[in-house]
Structure 1
Amino acid sequence: MFAWRRTALRKRVVVNLSDKAFAGVLWAKRGPLLVLRDAELLEPGREPQRIDGEVVIERARVEFTQVLAGGG
């Protein structure tokens, strides 16, 4: 596991894709996948949408990840 993921694991993050982002707790890294819990979908011009369950994101689609201050 890369250092940033060890540092970010179990912390609140924003995972940015090309067209949207997800905010949530980075719960796990499973091979090529990132798993977020307690997540929201963030899209330009729209209110954040709460998501039930886990969000699974292919790491290849991730443009960058932000670890939020105080997000532990």
Structure 2
Amino acid sequence: MELTLALVISGLIAVGVIVAWRFWRALPVLERYVVTLTTGEAFDGLLKSSRGGVLVLVDAVALDEKQGAVSRHQIDGELYLDRVKVAYMQKPGGSQ
């Protein structure tokens, strides 16, 4: 009984560490990414920081698609995005 409980707790801790590492790991910075949020909003910018649960983009633009055409709206300063709300990230031109 005690051994089973210890194994279950150890397994839960291991899963928690793996999930935390995948969520909090650092991404390469000062590279350009297109970030799409779960809301459908998209932004293009240089990733300045990815610590904790926040992505920070600089030199960012909001991407707006209407009737097949994409318009770009410059964002002043730094753009802070909650990683929980990020659906996916793309590196334009592929990774090298």
Gaps of 5+ in 2: 1-23
SS of the counterpart of 1:44?
Answer: strand
More displaced stretch, 13-22 vs 39-48: 39-48
Residue number in structure 2 paired with 1:15: 35
Aligned CA RMSD, in angstroms, stands at 2.0
Higher RCO (C-alpha under 8 Å, 6+ residues apart)? 1
User: Rg: which structure is higher?
Assistant: 2
Q: 1:35 aligns with which of 56, 59, 62?
A: 56
Could you say which structure has the higher helix fraction?
2
- The alignment's TM-score, normalised by the length of structure 1, stands at 0.81
Displacement of 1:53 in angstroms is 0.2
Could you say which structure has the higher strand fraction?
1
Gaps of 5+ in 1: none
Q: Which structure 1 residue ranges, 4+ long, deviate > 3 Å from structure 2?
A: none
How many equivalent residue pairs? 68
Q: Percent identity?
A: 37
